[in-house]
Structure 1
Amino acid sequence: MFKGVSYVVRENVNNLYRIYSIAKYELLADMRDSKLGIFWNFANPVIQVATYWFVFGFVFKRNEIDGVDFLSWLLGGMVIWFFISPCITNGCNAVYQKINIITKMKFPVSILPATVVLKEAFNHLCLMIIVVVLFAINGHFPSLHWFGLIYYFICSILFSIALSLTTSVLNMLARDTRKLILACMRLLMYLTPILWDIKLLPHTLQVIMKLNPIYYLVCGYKDCFFFHEGILFYWKQMLVFWVWTIGLFWIGSVIMYKFRTKFMDLI
């Protein structure tokens, strides 16, 4: 039962430099394909945030939520969503995208989801620079509470790897997996209280919504930025999050270990 977990952990630890090298290559390749390069790492999130702010902040006139101006409140949740979303959608395709390499040489397949997450981590750090500047303009200056972001960032990395590990193998077994995930991601953003306040829902629905592991990450980022309640304040959501993360990593490791030599047959 734990053989798969041990296999995946060992393979990733032994190939840390390879994970870094592949992520770096993919990042530079994306920049070479565009004349504006790294500019799009900043431009795409800014355009999307501006769109959501116009619709929810300007049209629906949401000025403040819990004493925080709406634009800052929106950015506090969107910044982690812009990291999680591509990790999930691209992580699902991590193995299939490298099928030419896998079939031609002996390759540690289980490291591929981690390479996708590491690449997106760089884009996330770039976006954080913009967020810090905008927060400073709006009067939200860095404090000691912001060190909690390190914990939530690590949580988001581990969750993304765990989920991508599972979905990348499922995508090899059934190509419809990625299409299903892409469709669900459009819905998931609205089911995660990023654009609206969860307090608008009845209590029962709030409890159901809090079972979403991404909700924990969004609340954590917003808490570090604005509310400063501390990591243990969300202990119930923390338990739910780690159950999801550990469960997905275990499932992903087991099926990755089981099919590690059969990917060529699944093409």
Structure 2
Amino acid sequence: MKSIIYVVNENIRNVYRILSISKYELLSDMRDSKLGIIWNILNPLIQVSTYWFVFGIGIRGGEAVSGVEFLDWMMAGLLVWFFISPCITKGVNAISSKINVITKMKFPISILPATVVLKELFNHCFMLVIVYFLFLIRGMRPSVYNLQVFYYIICIVTLTTSLSMITASLNVFTKDVRKMVNASMRILMYLTPILWTMDKLPVSIKMIMKCNPIFYIVEGYRDCFFYHKGILATPREMAIFWLTVAVLFIIGSNLIYKFKHKFIDLL
């Protein structure tokens, strides 16, 4: 309990610092190229187009999914993935990448995973607005259920921050953690029904797949935009998700609290 209080208090006290670091990192990325923020649109657009051609036209032949056009159905899932994936892959380096700052001054290390997630949150909100208007153009009916997307954004932020606290702490001890995370992300994308449906899977396999916290968020986005289901429509999946996040946050808090004075020596 002491570790949880320590991490929560440190993040609350340093909210302005988290915002400042995230803003600096975001502007730094934009300065590295002439197109700047335009790449926030081009990168996802190129990937969506590729997946749509391969999986939508090539494999599924343009078949709709539960009454929703495959392109729209897939874009909702990829919208989640394009947020979660960089949060996890960059979050693993959240501590080790700031070695110059940590070793030269007293710095609240526990806020570093949050800075990575906040930076990616800006990119996600930017893409969310674009994709939402695209859905409207393609015939989606606006609904009050659309507002539930903010709940699922909170889900992503808490999940990725908790997971990054664990991987960033362990990555200080061995760089194999970063390689393992990168390899796992490639597998995780195809294990999560983002580009394919679970219609033909046995019931037992479906039950296991629904325990994936990313699946809960992906389906939540689709419920917000297309199926107009409330947050409480899947209470079992909701309980499993928040239990998973709680366990990850407890583990991450304990790691950071336990090694808070040793990270400098290890780096």
TM class by shorter-chain length?
A: over 0.9
Matched, 1:24 2:55: no
Q: After TM superposition, list the pairs within 5 Å mapping 1:191-206 onto structure 2.
A: 191-206=191-206
The corresponding residue for 2:245 is 245
Q: After TM superposition, list the pairs within 5 Å mapping 1:46-195 onto structure 2.
A: 46-60=45-59, 61-195=61-195
Q: Quick one: distance in 2 between partners of 1:32 and 1:117? A: 20
Q: Tell me, what secondary structure is at the counterpart of 1:51?
A: helix
CA offsets per residue over residues 169-210 of structure 1, 9 Å max, x none? 011111100110000000101111110112221111111111
CA offsets per residue over residues 101-142 of structure 1, 9 Å max, x none? 101100000000000000000000111122112211210132
**How big is the shift at 1:211?**
1.2
Q: Quick one: distance in 2 between partners of 1:28 and 1:180? A: 29
Q: Quick one: distance in 1 between partners of 2:243 and 2:127? A: 29
The corresponding residue for 1:12 is 11
Q: Quick one: distance in 2 between partners of 1:43 and 1:261? A: 42
Aligned partner letter, 1:77: G
Q: Quick one: distance in 1 between partners of 2:160 and 2:200? A: 28
The corresponding residue for 2:218 is 218
Aligned partner letter, 1:19: I
The answer to whether the Cα contact below 8 Å between 2:143 and 2:228 also exists between their aligned partners in 1 is no
Q: Quick one: distance in 2 between partners of 1:113 and 1:200? A: 38
CA offsets per residue over residues 64-110 of structure 1, 9 Å max, x none? 00000000000111111110110011011100000111011000000
Report % sequence identity.
56
Runs of 4+ in 1 over 4 A off after TM superposition: none
User: Gaps spanning 5+ residues in structure 1: where?
Assistant: none
The answer to whether the Cα contact below 8 Å between 2:167 and 2:177 also exists between their aligned partners in 1 is yes
**How big is the shift at 1:239?**
1.0
RMSD of aligned residue pairs (Cα, Å): 0.8
The corresponding residue for 2:230 is 230
How many equivalent pairs are there?
Answer: 266
The corresponding residue for 1:264 is 264
Q: Tell me, what secondary structure is at the counterpart of 1:41?
A: helix
**How big is the shift at 1:39?**
0.6
User: Gaps spanning 5+ residues in structure 2: where?
Assistant: none
The answer to whether the Cα contact below 8 Å between 2:152 and 2:217 also exists between their aligned partners in 1 is yes
**How big is the shift at 1:143?**
1.4
Q: Quick one: distance in 2 between partners of 1:24 and 1:200? A: 45
Q: Tell me, what secondary structure is at the counterpart of 1:194?
A: coil
The answer to whether the Cα contact below 8 Å between 2:171 and 2:177 also exists between their aligned partners in 1 is yes
Aligned partner letter, 2:46: I
Q: Quick one: distance in 2 between partners of 1:202 and 1:243? A: 25
Q: Quick one: distance in 1 between partners of 2:240 and 2:102? A: 35
Q: Tell me, what secondary structure is at the counterpart of 1:211?
A: coil
